[in-house]
Copies of this chain bind each other. A is one copy, B any other.
Amino acid sequence: MTSDVSTQIHLASRPQGWPVEDDFSLVRVELPALREGEVRVRNEFVSVDPYMRGRMSDAPSYIPPFEVGEAMTGGAVGRVVASEDPRLPAGTLVLHDQGWRDLAQGPGEAFRPVPEVEGVPVSLHLGMLGLTGMTAYVGLTQVARLREGDSVFVSGAAGAVGTAVGQIARLLGASRVIGSAGGPEKAALLRERYGYDVALDYRAAPIREQLAEAAGEDGVDVYFDNVGGDHLEAALDVLNRGGRVAVCGAISGYNAGARAAGPDNLTNVIKNSLMLQGFTLGEYAGFAREFQERMGAWLAAGEIAYDETVVEGVENAVAAFLGMMRGENVGKMVVRI
Q: A: which residues have CB within 8 A of B?
A: 54, 60-62, 228, 232-233, 241-242, 247-250, 253, 259-280, 283
Contacts and interface: CB of A to CB of B under 8 A. Distances in A.
A271 B228 contact: no
B232 A271 contact: no
Contact of A273 (B241, B249, B283): B283
Contacts of A276: 269, 274-277
A270 B248 contact: yes
Q: What are the 5 closest A-B residue pairs judged by CB atoms, nearest first?
A: A262-B262, A261-B261, A269-B278, A259-B264, A270-B278
Given A61-B271, A271-B62, A261 B259 contact: no
A279 to B, nearest CB: 5
Contacts of A278: 268-275
Nearest to A242: B283
A276 B261 CA distance: 18
A62 B280 CA distance: 32
Copies in the complex: 2
A250 B273 CA distance: 13
Given A253-B267, A260-B264, A273-B278, 15 more contacts: A54-B271, A62-B273, A242-B283, A249-B270, A259-B264, A261-B262, A261-B264, A262-B262, A262-B265, A269-B277, A273-B277, A273-B279, A274-B277, A275-B276, A275-B278
B247 A270 contact: yes
5 contacts: A233-B262, A249-B270, A261-B261, A262-B264, A273-B283
A228 B275 contact: no
Contacts of A262: 233, 261-266
Nearest to A264: B259
A255 to B, nearest CB: 12
Contacts of A270: 247-250, 278-280
A337 B213 CA distance: 49
Best-surrounded residue of A241, A250, A273, A278 (most CB of chain B within 10 A) = A278
Contact of A250 (B248, B263, B266): B266
A38 B267 CA distance: 39
A60 B241 CA distance: 11
Given A259-B264, A262-B261, A263-B262, A272 B62 contact: yes
Contacts of A60: 271
Contacts of A241: 62
Given A275-B275, A278-B275, A250 B228 contact: no
A241 B265 CA distance: 25
